[in-house]
Structure 1
Amino acid sequence: AKTVTPLMGDITEGVLLNDEEADIVLMANILHGLVVAEGAEPALREANRILKPHGLLVVVDFKKISGPPGPRYSIRLSLKEAEAIVSPHGFETKEHFEVGPYHYAIVFRRKAADPKRF
């Protein structure tokens, strides 16, 4: 039986999972903040490390539209900007879709063989 084990921590500093242990990593409403704090690269490197080959990284973030809710417009990422940030870290876009009026989701698949993984 499959189980869901939520973990809370700072993905930029590493999480307590072994290499290739996770089936799915969910990043909800944080990619824009990681970019601002210059933490996107270590976070995506860690997501790649803990995901199984062909594991899924699901990024949910605020649409690049002005007004509440969410962060100020200047730090929001468009769907294309988010893809451009994530893809070079060993991920390919599987699908994307709207999540209500204020969010989008992008499902990335970890590429099986990436010599620069860690």
Structure 2
Amino acid sequence: MEPTSVRVDSWLWAVRLVKTRAAATAACRAGHVTLRGERAKAAAPVRVGDEVRIRVAGRERVVIARRLLIKRVSAVVAAECLTDLTPPEPPRVEAPAVVARDRGAGRPTKRERRDLDRLRGR
């Protein structure tokens, strides 16, 4: 028989949104987890259909609980237990090329310094 509610820190760990249960508890304490639009404590109950938002690695994940789990399961089963509504990540901006001079080439000339500055975007 499936439970009617589960602790939010336990559920986050069980569906593999965080690596450890301690990390889930720490995220709750730090205010990185919201449940039904409000900040959640680690022991807050999650029910089927609840929206859970968690900030992990500088990115906010938005998920809907479709099934409740107490124990950690495989990634395939965990994916079936939630609906991921996280918006796609914005495209990365390319960094300018790193300029390296050969060792022993001496100091750059004024012209080479201007070229290097242009490459670095200055």
Query: Which TM-score applies when normalising by structure 2?
Result: 0.22
Higher strand share: 1
Larger radius of gyration: 2
Query: Which TM-score applies when normalising by structure 1?
Result: 0.23
- Greater relative CO (CA pairs within 8 A, separation 6+): 1
